[in-house]
């Protein structure tokens, strides 16, 4: 009996040893080299995702995970180069907005038939999350979050300017009120009202887009017509430039500088995504950091209807992997593990995609979670396009031209419209 048991154990080791699959994983979010495996303790996007990956590496039997470089700057360039070179990672993260481009070429594996086999229940996903990974009827990935632009608020500055009511910040409801509040903050504290990355990553673009959607306008229509040179866009842009013109916001701050300015307690509001909520909470708790009283608010409605820019991070598997059954299953198991840890990822501040998680106490008790419950409802993005990245780049350049180089708004919007139309026509 004993020998049989030992024999079985040896056989099991040999079997799992033989089938141990190395799964290469591509992601952005930045590097976190000492993330550990505790998915409840890590802080910040980079470390939380890496701790989940490390845990998956340790806990999924017969699968080892090799994480590829993690930088933002060249992520999509590199992943495309990897696909074109025939060496894509076995699983990789991507944004919802890239699905038309990648799935449209047949680069991504259609996985709807295989989800249940590894314990992923697509019916648990919210409707928007399911939409995010769906392309022409098929499912091309596992959604991980809904992330959106929020207003991160320094309550001490707001209180000093008299803009707090019942423990919540008083936020503007029109462009005029925005200017008024900004002036109140300047007069009371000498600080800027609004900070954001207007000079580098397209956070300023997302701000303007939100203000256009709030007027029921968009930069292009589903049928591929650019609609940028119009009154709605002008309203949206001037709502922001009025702050620059009045010296109540600084357009020259990039991502790191705008964040630092907020953390130093030099700006009342920072427009940034959901991904920094836990990081800012942790910073606000520190004695030496200028920001003490931190609050998160939904993007306020300055025009007719609520809207804020949003996107979804999702995990996909390259289509060529389907020919290697074992590796494909191993990759799916990794996705299932990430799906199981949806609540851990939500600790970043991102919104979960699984209904069961959204309804859980663990999720709802996360810091500041109750302060931006309206965001999921007003989340939006531009219509799907294979040229999303290039279009964002056009807008980013033209908007920067407006606030950094003084290009007349009309000229910039006209130029942007022509260039976006070119991209849509290509």
Partner 1 sequence: MNRGYYWLVLALSIPAFIWLVPTIWMVSLSFQPNDVLARTTSTTALGLIPIPFTAENYGALFSFGQTPWWFLNSVIVSLGMTLGVLAVSTTAGYALARLDFPFKATIATICLIGLMVPEQAVFIPLYTMFADFGWHNSYHALILPRMAVPIGVFLMMQFFKAIPKDIEEAARLDGVGWLKIFWYVMLPLARPAMMTLAILTFLYAWNDYLWPLVSAQQREYFTITLGLASIQSNFAQSEGLGRVMASGVIASLPVVLLFLIFQRYVVQAMTVGGSKG
Partner 2 sequence: MANTDPDAGAARAGRKSYLSQSQAAFLLLLPFLAVYALFLVYPFFRGFWISLHDWNLLAVAFNPDAKEFVGLRNYERVMWGRNIEWAAFASPLLQGVGLLGMVAAAVLRYRGRISRATAVALATGSALLFLLPGFHPGEDGRWYDRRFWPTVGNTVLFVGLTVPGVTLTALILAAAMNRETRAMSVLRTLFFLSQVLSVTVVTLIWQIMFSPRQGLIANITEAFGGTPINWLTDEQFAMTAIVIATIWWSLGIAMILFLAGLQDISKDLYEAAALDNATGARAFWHITLPNLKRTITLVVILQIILHFQVFGQSHLMTQGGPNDTTQVLVRYIYQTGFRDSELGRASAMAVFLFVIMGGFSVLQFLVGREKE
Which residues form the interface with partner 2 (CB under 8 A)? 73, 76-78, 80-81, 83-86, 101-102, 105-107, 199-200, 252-254, 256-257, 260-261, 387, 389-390, 393, 396-398, 400-401, 404-405, 407, 415, 418-419, 422
Half-sphere CA count of 185, side-chain side, radius 13 A: 34
Give min distance, CB of 367 to partner 1, in A: 17
Interaction partner, residue 64 (partner 2, partner 1, none; CB < 5-8 Å by kind): none
- Total of chain residues touching partner 1, rule CB under 8 A: 37
First CA to last CA distance, the chain:
71
**Tokens 């992601």 identify what position?**
27
Name which of 66 and 174 has its Cβ closer to partner 1: 66
Q: Which of 279, 238, 245, 247 is nearest to 262 (CA)?
A: 279
Interaction partner, residue 32 (partner 1, partner 2, none; CB < 5-8 Å by kind): partner 1
Taking each continuous run of H as one helix and of E as one strand, the counts in the chain are 18, 15
The secondary structure of 361-424 as a DSSP string is HHHHTSTTGGGGTTHHHHEE-PPP-TTHHHHHHHHHHHHHHHHHH---HHHHHHHHHHHHHHHH
For 366, other C-beta atoms within 10 Å of its C-beta total 18
Angle between helices 277-284 and 255-263 (to 10 degrees): 40
Name which of 74 and 174 has its Cβ closer to partner 1: 74
Interaction partner, residue 33 (partner 2, partner 1, none; CB < 5-8 Å by kind): partner 1
Q: Is 385 in the site for partner 1 (CB under 8 A)?
A: no
Q: Is 278 in the site for partner 1 (CB under 8 A)?
A: no
Contacts of 34 (CB under 8 A, 6+ apart): none
Q: Is the dihedral of CA 50, 120, 275, 39 positive or negative?
A: negative
Give min distance, CB of 258 to partner 1, in A: 10
State which of residues 54, 70, 261, 392 lies at the interface with partner 1 (CB under 8 A). Answer: 70
- Cα(177)–Cα(313) distance, integer angstroms: 34
Name which of 255 and 329 has its Cβ closer to partner 2: 255
Give min distance, CB of 355 to partner 1, in A: 30
Interaction partner, residue 47 (partner 1, partner 2, none; CB < 5-8 Å by kind): partner 1
Q: Is 315:335 a contact under the CB 8 Å cutoff? A: yes
Q: What would the two tokens of residue 376 be?
A: 């999921």
- Cα(316)–Cα(49) distance, integer angstroms: 15
Give min distance, CB of 310 to partner 2, in A: 23
Using CB under 8 A as the criterion, what x/- string covers residues 35-64 for binding partner 1? ---------xxxx-----------------
Q: Is 282 in the site for partner 1 (CB under 8 A)?
A: no
Q: Is 380:195 a contact under the CB 8 Å cutoff? A: no
Using CB under 8 A as the criterion, what x/- string covers residues 85-104 for binding partner 1? xxx-----------------
Name which of 118 and 263 has its Cβ closer to partner 2: 263
Interaction partner, residue 46 (partner 1, partner 2, none; CB < 5-8 Å by kind): partner 1
CA 260-265-271 angle, 5° bins: 60
CA 168-313-48 angle, 5° bins: 75
Name which of 80 and 130 has its Cβ closer to partner 2: 80
Q: Is 73 in the site for partner 1 (CB under 8 A)?
A: yes
State which of residues 187, 288, 325, 361 lies at the interface with partner 1 (CB under 8 A). Answer: 288
What is the three-class DSSP state of 247? coil
Give min distance, CB of 77 to partner 1, in A: 8
For strand 308-311 and strand 379-380, is the pairing parallel, antiparallel, or unpaired? parallel
Using CB under 8 A as the criterion, what x/- string covers residues 254-273 for binding partner 1? -xx--xx-------------
Q: Is 79 in the site for partner 1 (CB under 8 A)?
A: yes
Q: Is 30 in the site for partner 1 (CB under 8 A)?
A: yes
Q: Is 195:250 a contact under the CB 8 Å cutoff? A: yes
Give min distance, CB of 171 to partner 2, in A: 27
Name which of 368 and 407 has its Cβ closer to partner 2: 407
Q: Is 84 in the site for partner 1 (CB under 8 A)?
A: yes
Name which of 28 and 303 has its Cβ closer to partner 1: 28
Q: Is 206:150 a contact under the CB 8 Å cutoff? A: no
Q: What would the two tokens of residue 11 be?
A: 């056989």
Paired with 165 in beta bridges are: 168
What is the three-class DSSP state of 135? strand
Q: Could you list the residues that contact partner 1 (CB under 8 A)? A: 24, 26, 29-34, 44-47, 66-74, 78-79, 81-82, 84-87, 255-256, 259-260, 276, 279, 288-289
């Amino acid at each position: 009996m004993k020998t049989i048991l030992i024999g079985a154990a040896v056989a099991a080791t040999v079997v799992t040893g033989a089938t141990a699959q190395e799964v290469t994983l591509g992601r952005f979010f930045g590097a976190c080299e000492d993330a550990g495996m505790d998915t409840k303790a890590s802080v910040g996007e980079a470390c939380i995702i890496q701790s989940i990956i490390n845990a998956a590496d340790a806990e999924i039997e017969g699968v080892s995970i090799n994480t590829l470089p993690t930088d933002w700057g060249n992520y999509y360039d590199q992943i495309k180069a990897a696909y074109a070179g025939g060496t894509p990672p076995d699983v990789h993260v991507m944004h919802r907005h890239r699905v038309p481009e990648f799935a449209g070429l047949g680069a991504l594996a259609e996985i709807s038939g295989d989800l249940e086999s590894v314990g992923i229940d697509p019916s648990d996903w919210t409707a928007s999350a399911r939409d995010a990974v769906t392309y022409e009827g098929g499912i091309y990935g596992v959604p991980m979050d809904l992330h959106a632009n929020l207003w991160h608020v320094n309550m001490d500055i707001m209180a000093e300017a008299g803009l707090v009511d019942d423990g919540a910040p008083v936020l503007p409801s029109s462009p005029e009120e925005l200017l008024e509040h900004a002036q109140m903050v300047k007069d009371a504290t000498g600080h800027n009202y609004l900070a954001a990355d207007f000079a580098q990553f397209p956070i300023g673009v997302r701000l303007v887009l939100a203000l256009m959607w709030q007027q029921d306008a968009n930069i292009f229509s589903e049928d591929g017509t650019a609609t940028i040179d119009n009154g709605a866009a002008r309203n949206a842009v001037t709502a922001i430039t009025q702050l620059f013109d009045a010296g109540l916001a600084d357009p020259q701050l990039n991502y790191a500088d705008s964040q630092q300015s907020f953390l130093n307690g030099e700006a009342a509001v920072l427009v940034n995504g959901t991904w920094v909520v836990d990081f800012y909470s942790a910073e606000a708790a520190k004695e030496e950091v200028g920001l003490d009283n931190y609050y998160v608010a939904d993007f306020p409605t300055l025009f007719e209807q609520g809207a804020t820019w949003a996107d979804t991070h999702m995990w996909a598997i390259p289509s060529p992997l389907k020919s290697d059954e074992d590796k494909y299953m191993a990759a799916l198991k990794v996705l299932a593990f990430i799906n199981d840890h949806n609540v851990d990822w939500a600790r970043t501040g991102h919104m979960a995609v699984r209904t069961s998680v959204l309804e859980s106490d663990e999720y709802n008790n996360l810091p500041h979670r109750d302060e931006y419950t309206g965001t999921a409802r007003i989340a939006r993005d531009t219509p799907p396009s294979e040229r999303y990245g290039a279009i964002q780049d056009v807008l980013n350049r033209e908007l920067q031209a407006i606030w950094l180089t003084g290009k007349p708004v009309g000229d910039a919007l006209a130029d942007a419209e022509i260039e976006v139309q070119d991209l849509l026509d290509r």
